[in-house]
Structure formats: structure tokens, C-alpha cells
């Protein structure tokens, strides 16, 4: 795999970010993503000139993190989260049980999400306030 870089997303990355989030089965409002890109609250992972991962923030909250299906399992999501942490004292995320191992590997403190309803499946909240 060629060198991976993580950078702030730009308006030119909009379609790629939407495609990646869609492939990750994550709901994303197009106007919200455009706003996040304009504000510098969206990071992208790029390899060989192609966007292969995206992370969307709202302050210290990770709204979404996704990687192209063909690139999963290569540490790209980890690099995106670590890059997001460079300018924040802490990061917070809510997620489904299937993603829990990802956040555990990044040493997030994990608990059951508040207000979880039985019919919504198991949801968790993770907090990390010591990225060193």
C-alpha cells in the first residue's frame, strides 16, 4: 500500500466523504457534511490520491468514522482517530456493539450509552482523554 496521509478535508472531498460514509452504512446529512468540511471538522485519509477514510467531528464528539471496505483492517481508522486527538484534550463517541473492539483497541473508556432502548440494539459510549 502506498503512503497514507491524514489531512483536513476540503469541499473538493465532499463526494468521496459521502461515498465512504455510505459504504460504512453511516447516515450522514449532506449539508452537515459540507458544513463540517468548510469548518475543518472532517479529516480524510488519502492513499495514492484517493480518499480511503473519513472522520467527522462535532467538537470533541466523533460523529462518524469510516474506511473504504477494501482498506479496512489496515489501521486507517486508528490513524484518523489519533489525528483527531492531536488538537483535542479528549474524544467521545457513541457506537454499536460491533464497533466496540475498535474503540477498545484505542483505549477508550467504554460504558453502555444512556437512554438506550431495547429495540435499538446495544449502544455504547466511549471517552478517551489521554492520547499521548
* Domain spans of the chain, in order of start: 1-88, 89-132
pTM over 0.75: yes
Model pLDDT, residue 120: 59
Calculate ∠ Cα 106-102-100, nearest 5°: 110
Q: Which DSSP state fits 91? A: E
Average pLDDT over residues 49-77: 95
Would the pLDDT of 131 be above 80?
no
What is the rounded distance in angstroms from the CA atom of residue 68 to the CA atom of residue 51?
Answer: 8
Q: Is it the case that residue 80 has pLDDT exceeding 70?
A: yes
Interval 96-118: pLDDT, tens = 999 999 999 999 999 998 765 55
As a CATH number, domain 1-88 is 3.40.630.30
Amino acid at each position: 500500500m502506498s503512503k497514507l496521509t491524514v489531512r483536513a478535508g476540503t469541499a473538493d472531498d465532499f463526494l468521496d466523504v459521502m461515498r465512504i460514509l455510505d459504504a460504512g452504512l453511516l447516515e450522514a446529512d449532506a449539508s452537515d457534511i459540507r458544513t463540517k468540511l468548510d469548518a475543518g471538522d472532517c479529516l480524510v485519509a488519502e492513499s495514492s490520491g484517493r480518499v480511503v477514510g473519513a472522520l467527522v467531528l462535532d467538537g470533541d464528539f466523533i460523529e462518524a468514522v469510516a474506511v473504504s471496505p477494501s482498506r479496512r483492517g489496515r489501521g486507517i481508522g486508528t490513524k484518523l482517530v489519533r489525528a483527531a486527538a492531536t488538537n483535542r484534550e479528549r474524544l467521545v463517541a457513541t457506537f454499536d456493539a460491533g464497533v466496540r473492539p475498535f474503540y477498545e483497541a484505542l483505549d477508550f473508556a467504554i460504558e453502555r450509552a444512556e437512554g438506550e432502548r431495547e429495540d435499538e440494539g446495544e449502544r455504547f459510549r466511549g471517552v478517551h482523554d489521554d492520547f499521548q
